[in-house]
Amino acid sequence: VTHDSQAVGGIDIGGTKIAVAIGDHDDRLLDVARFPTRIERGPHAILDETLETLSALARRANVRIASVGIGCAGPLDRGRGLVLSPPNLPGWDELPIVDLVERRLDVPVVFDNDANAAALGEHRQGAGRGLHSLVYMTMSTGIGGGVIVVDKLVHGVADAAGEIGHMVVQPNGPACNCGARGCLEAICSGTAIARRARERIGAGAESSMGAIAGGVEAITAATVARAALDGDPVARHLWDETIEYLALGIGNVLVTLAPEAIIIGGGVAAAGDQLFEPLRARVRQNVTMLPPDRVTISPAALGGDSGLYGALALGRSVLAEPR
Amino acid sequence: VTHDSQAVGGIDIGGTKIAVAIGDHDDRLLDVARFPTRIERGPHAILDETLETLSALARRANVRIASVGIGCAGPLDRGRGLVLSPPNLPGWDELPIVDLVERRLDVPVVFDNDANAAALGEHRQGAGRGLHSLVYMTMSTGIGGGVIVVDKLVHGVADAAGEIGHMVVQPNGPACNCGARGCLEAICSGTAIARRARERIGAGAESSMGAIAGGVEAITAATVARAALDGDPVARHLWDETIEYLALGIGNVLVTLAPEAIIIGGGVAAAGDQLFEPLRARVRQNVTMLPPDRVTISPAALGGDSGLYGALALGRSVLAEPR
């Protein structure tokens, strides 16, 4: 057996895919592997494949895993190391993931929810590199977020900090899964954008979106973005409205925390300039309390890997400071 | 000359009154004095009286002032130690207050805006004592705020953190002094509550508020609160609406930061249970992302002295750590 060097493991667990990586202590990614979650086989089989994959990466790189960071769809109980009842991970209720992984690998494990991990990843190695404060938000099925102040994640009571998808931006607006009305998530998540499009068409609006998507039920946020670019009036109105409410939500974050950057990930951010240019302009009009050139609003630089880089950062954190 | 012990000076500068205090290193208040600002005499005469009062307190207590903290109506440029152009302190534009006081007293001076100072005061010695995170808000002429995370004030870029009065809670709502529409301040500040009452009466609503105040133009937020308690339907509606929007704003802060406490100071908070009981209930209904019993929503414990205690804490901070 050769004397191998230490490395950190990172695991990003989502409802559709899992990414596993090993990295060194200097923020370098040594190797990465991805596979579909296949949620139906249950958490233990999924964890088996995850940890076997991690071990295989370590063997191939001839390193020893010294700690592991995990980013996982929430809600979680970080204190007790439990996955609670994530809508995206049915069957994972109260799963003691930290204990399970610590026992299998005999190394310290740190975990956090996927949005916090992504915020950390973007802060350490993405669009927020070198900044001391930022708010990350992911716009996909829902809207999640992570807040970094003075270089550290803010968790808040019950780990609820960063739940900016549940800011109310339209009083008495559409019902949100959380039970409230008019939450940012209920209007601007990818799911909500698509739902609003289907509702308008269902109410009789004439639009090319159904044809673009191959059926009204197949409309996604990307359909709306594309049809808006093509000049479809219904889609343009939906897109403008999305930017309007998103700008309100981001404005509310800016006047509360005045972070150096707002970084947006998730599928909706893939619209690129079509999203970011009008969004920046609208935020600038709304928020006069801070100079607009002092806050950047930009897409995540690590794309779908923000959370994986964050998981590696979580793993490194436990080596840097005693738990 | 006897060998006197060291003390800290605290100065709270507002548009109508100034409070000056000396304290020891252990958060104890040794003496305090107050006098009217009399803004018309100009900043230099005002600073003269302020510093003479501080020196008189120190002589009387037989202590030597080793540092001074100043809380002052904003906007400020903390980095350059300047008071900018506060609406409440006309004639103080670009006043280099830190330099002026440092030269006169030959001790280090730390300053911050009044809302941040009040947040710090409540954190160290008021309703937030022993907590690690809180958001303070003051509801008076405007709505200001201060954010404390991990025991420290968050300033943010351009010192704009804590400007929660400029969260938009009613899209396309009433115009705010900041240039935007529907800001919390434009609906829920004392000034805005009174303005909304006068507008309703001006539009023909029948109400006892004019009689209570001795004229429609004399109506204040306190008039609205009192008339609402007495059962005046217009006042009750105004009060309920105020609580509705305030709850939205506080809910938005909770899902962003999940602080341990929301602490409310300023004249409107004097309404006590009439404000806090329905406010807590409404926030609880709106915010499902964190357990309601984990966040307290309570009045400032130091009343009008939150900022003065905060100024003393600012003064102490410079002694504790090298600048």
pLDDT-above-70 percentage for chain A: 98
Q: How many CB atoms lie within 10 A of CB A40?
A: 9
Give contacts of A 207-246 with B, CB under 8 A: 244-245
Is residue B23 less than 8 Å (CB to CB) from chain A?
A: no
Interface touch A152/B150, C-beta < 8 Å: yes
Strands (DSSP E) contained in chain A are 5-13, 17-23, 29-36, 63-72, 76-77, 82-83, 109-113, 134-139, 143-149, 152-153, 261-265, 296-299
pLDDT tens string B136-175: 999 999 999 999 999 999 999 999 999 999 999 999 999 9
Preceding peptide of B291 cis, ω within 30°: no
pLDDT at B4 over 80: no
pLDDT higher at A25 or A128: A128
Give how far B57 is from chain A: nearest CA, Å: 37
Q: Which chain A residue has its CA at the smallest distance from B157's CA? A: A258
Give how far B290 is from chain A: nearest CA, Å: 6
pLDDT at B276 over 50: yes
Q: Which residues on chain B are in Cβ contact (under 8 Å) with A159?
A: 258
Strands (DSSP E) contained in A14-156 are 17-23, 29-36, 63-72, 76-77, 82-83, 109-113, 134-139, 143-149, 152-153
pLDDT tens string A168-201: 999 999 999 999 999 999 999 999 999 999 999 9
Q: Which chain B residue has its CA at the smallest distance from A295's CA? A: B157
pLDDT tens string A86-133: 788 888 999 999 999 999 999 999 999 999 999 999 999 999 999 999
Is residue A78 less than 8 Å (CB to CB) from chain B?
A: no
Q: How far apart are CA B248 and CA B253, in angstroms?
A: 9
Q: Which residues on chain B are in Cβ contact (under 8 Å) with A150?
A: 149-150, 152, 154
Amino acid of residue B203: A
> Given its phi and psi angles, is residue B65 left (phi above 0), alpha (psi -120 to 50 degrees) or beta?
beta
Q: How far apart are CA A125 and CA A134, in angstroms?
A: 13
Q: What is the DSSP secondary structure assignment for residue A171, as one 8-state letter?
A: T
User: The pTM is what?
Assistant: 0.95
Task: Show Cβ contacts of residue A170 under 8 Å, excluding neighbours closer than 6 positions.
Answer: A181, A182, A187, A245, B171
Interface touch B161/A258, C-beta < 8 Å: yes
pLDDT-above-90 percentage for chain A: 87
pLDDT tens string A235-252: 999 999 999 999 999 999
pLDDT at B3 over 60: no
Interface touch B289/A147, C-beta < 8 Å: no
What pLDDT does residue A320 have?
61
pLDDT tens string B65-120: 999 999 998 889 999 999 987 788 888 999 999 999 999 999 999 999 999 999 99
Q: How far apart are CA A117 and CA A70, in angstroms?
A: 8
Q: What tokens were used for B193?
A: 């509550």
Q: Which of A161, A289, A294 sits opposite B163 (nearest CB)?
A: A289
Interface touch A166/B253, C-beta < 8 Å: no
> Do B137 and B259 touch, CB atoms closer than 8 A?
no
Q: How far apart are CA B128 and CA B134, in angstroms?
A: 7
Q: Which residues on chain A are in Cβ contact (under 8 Å) with B258?
A: 154-161, 163
3-state SS track over A7-24: EEEEEEECCCEEEEEEEC
Give how far A226 is from chain B: nearest CA, Å: 27
Q: Which of A145, A171, A289 sits opposite B160 (nearest CB)?
A: A289
Amino acid of residue A135: V
Give how far B258 is from chain A: nearest CA, Å: 5
Interface touch A244/B290, C-beta < 8 Å: no
SS3 A149: strand
Q: What is the mean pLDDT of chain B?
A: 94
Q: What is the DSSP secondary structure assignment for residue B233, as one 8-state letter?
A: H
pLDDT tens string B211-220: 999 999 999 9
Q: How far apart are CA A96 and CA A260, in angstroms?
A: 36
Neighbour-count burial of B292, counting CB atoms closer than 10 A to its CB (0-12 exposed, 13-18 middle, 19+ buried): middle
pLDDT at A25 over 60: yes
Quote the crossing angle between the two packed helices B273-286 and B233-257, to the nearest 10°.
50
Is residue A247 less than 8 Å (CB to CB) from chain B?
A: no
> Do B145 and B163 touch, CB atoms closer than 8 A?
yes
Q: What tokens were used for B294?
A: 């984990």
Query: How many CB pairs (< 8 A) connect A and B?
Result: 158
What pLDDT does residue A292 have?
80
Kindly give the residue spans of alpha helices, DSSP state H, lying in A126-208: 184-188, 190-202
Give how far B146 is from chain A: nearest CA, Å: 9
Q: How far apart are the first and last CA of chain B?
A: 30
Q: Which residues of B24-53 are buried (b: 16+ CB within 10 A; e: fewer)?
A: beeeeebbbeeeebebeeebeebbebbbeb
Q: How far apart are CA A138 and CA B225, in angstroms?
A: 42
Is residue B316 less than 8 Å (CB to CB) from chain A?
A: no
> How far out from the chain centre does Cα A104 lie?
27
Is residue B293 less than 8 Å (CB to CB) from chain A?
A: no
Q: Which chain A residue has its CA at the smallest distance from B150's CA? A: A154
3-state SS track over B259-280: CCEEEEECHHHHHCHHHHHHHH
Q: What is the mean pLDDT of residues A276-292?
A: 92
Q: What is the DSSP secondary structure assignment for residue A304, as one 8-state letter?
A: G
Confidence of residue A3 (pLDDT cuts 50, 70, 90): very low
Is residue A27 less than 8 Å (CB to CB) from chain B?
A: no
pLDDT tens string B24-60: 988 899 999 999 999 999 999 999 999 999 999 999 9
Q: How far apart are CA B258 and CA B292, in angstroms?
A: 11
Q: Which chain B residue has its CA at the smallest distance from A289's CA? A: B160
Interface touch B259/A156, C-beta < 8 Å: yes
Q: Which of A150, A170, A290 sits opposite B171 (nearest CB)?
A: A170
What pLDDT does residue A323 have?
41
Give contacts of B 146-165 with A, CB under 8 A: 147, 149-150, 152, 154-165
**DSSP symbols for B164-227:** GGGSBSSTT-SB-TTS-BSBHHHHHSHHHHHHHHHHHHHTT---SHHHHHTSGGG--HHHHHHH
> Do B53 and B20 touch, CB atoms closer than 8 A?
yes
Nearest to A133 by CA among A115, A118, A150: A150
Q: How far apart are CA B139 and CA B306, in angstroms?
A: 13
pLDDT tens string B237-273: 999 999 999 999 999 999 999 999 999 999 999 999 9
Q: What is the mean pLDDT of residues A263-268?
A: 96
Interface touch A161/B289, C-beta < 8 Å: no
Give contacts of A 114-133 with B, CB under 8 A: 133
Is residue B84 less than 8 Å (CB to CB) from chain A?
A: no
What pLDDT does residue B111 have?
95
Is residue B185 less than 8 Å (CB to CB) from chain A?
A: no
